[in-house]
Amino acid sequence: MSPEQSRVRRTGRRPAWVAAAVAVSAVLAVAVPVQAADDPSEASPAPAAPSVPSAPGPSPAPSSGASPQPPAAPAFGAYLDYGPRGVARMAELSDWLGGTRLRVGHTYLPGDRWSNIEGAPGFLDVWADWRKGRADRMLVLNVPMLERNEEGLDDDEVRELLRRGAAGDFDHHFRHLAERLVALGVPDTVLVLGWEMNGTTYTHRCGPDPEAWKAYWNRIVTAVRAVPGQRFRFDFAPSRGRDAVPWTDCYPGDDTVDIIGMDAYDQPRGMPFEEQVSEPYGLQAHVDFARAHGKPVSYPEWGLFRNGDNAVYMRRMLAWMEEHGALYNTLTDYCPHGVWQCGDNPRAAEAYRSVLSGRADAGPAEPQRPTAPEPSAPAPREEPPAGCSPLDLDDWIEQWLGGKLCLRPDWWSRTR
């Protein structure tokens, strides 16, 4: 599609945790932590037996008198928030779906500066903990290729940055990220590198110099794969349609791409689903291209948009992803795109819920390491120390800090 038809910039995922952390650090100097009682993520029953990616086969016939089991759900999740609140909300969305388990967690690294693209200390910990809770879970992490990623840099500056990246100037940032993820115990994270490169929204766009962009992608993948212990997979994920440039012009090659994804929203206005399938560089072109290159498909971002509360789109898109054996998909679940966290789309929400509610656990996308030991029962909630008043902070701050804080009444005394 043309650049004018590309969706408005989404603001719900851009992290503001750095500023919050600075504010909280001032409180830490005078506050005493109180242990939190509950883990924000869902309980972790024993995982299903590992299996290789394939279309699910028929279920065994039930024994006499047994009710047929609902079909297994493909690996799916939703983008619910970039930080600890996103992890906590996965359990809530699962409850809304009648217990269907979300196997995919999805978050984004901030693209404001290199230190955040490297994975700032503390930012990824809660996601790593969630991923390690079950063997069949998948962590999907969007990784910007350049800092100042949403600052509207002009093509000349982007071109120069891409060429510097292709020359290896930024390799060390991605090595640091890989080392951090390995140290956190999530060396199998799916890295959605330089997403929507065929558009104009991001500094890491391909259009100003496709050859430099492809060379830079290959440099990053080479640098990351050199880190001991890594088992990362790289997802090449353009936006649906032509956008600013054909996304096929940006494809860096089969050796450095593991998954061919697509960010697919219900747009432009008035375009029916059939045309989203058949348009140049659309849904059909995506699956055909992936098949020709021997790669699985994915949908890291998808959801409603220009056509409003469109239940037909919701059902058709869910069926499309299942029909074509998507390795995973994650709905962008905030307004205007989402269904659970967005009250503007009740008909689409009911369609999403009716398809996925009560689905049985699916097997893992591929063999995984054994499940971590089951966590012990949470300790009873601790009472604040005598003379210490609890602070009422947002739940995401308490989750990030690892518990509640309380303030001693004499903290301002100059005579302490």
pLDDT of residue 368: 40
pLDDT in tens, 136-146: 999 999 999 99
DSSP string for residues in 43-109: P-PPPPPP--S----PPPPPPTTPPPPPPBPPSEEEE--SSHHHHHHHHHHHHHTTTPPP-EEEEE-
Q: Residue 415 to residues 247, 285, 411: CA-CA distances in angstroms?
A: 66, 72, 10
Element counts in the chain: helices (H) and strands (E): 12, 12
Res 173 pLDDT > 70: yes
pLDDT of residue 71: 54
Res 405 pLDDT > 90: no
Name the pairing type of β-strands 259-261 and 297-303: parallel
pLDDT of residue 74: 78
Q: How far apart are CA 146 and CA 161, in angstroms?
A: 8
pLDDT in tens, 52-71: 233 333 333 333 344 445 55
Percent of the chain with pLDDT over 70: 69
Q: How far apart are CA 382 and CA 12, in angstroms?
A: 34
pLDDT in tens, 241-278: 999 999 999 999 999 999 999 999 999 999 999 999 99
Cβ–Cβ < 8 Å for 271, 282: no
3-class DSSP assignment, residue 202: coil
How confident is the prediction for the chain on average, in pLDDT? 79
Instruction: Give me the mean pLDDT over the 322-335 stretch.
Output: 98
pLDDT of residue 69: 52
Beta bridge partners of 190: 140, 233
Res 379 pLDDT > 70: no
Instruction: Give me the mean pLDDT over the 16-29 stretch.
Output: 36
Residue 361: pLDDT band by 50, 70, 90 thresholds? low
Name the pTM for this structure.
0.74
Res 97 pLDDT > 90: yes
Res 238 pLDDT > 60: yes
Res 6 pLDDT > 50: no
Instruction: Give me the mean pLDDT over the 343-361 stretch.
Output: 93
3-class DSSP assignment, residue 191: strand
Q: What are phi and psi of 77, to 5 degrees?
A: -165, -160
Percent of the chain with pLDDT over 90: 68
pLDDT in tens, 128-168: 999 999 999 999 999 999 999 999 999 999 999 999 999 99
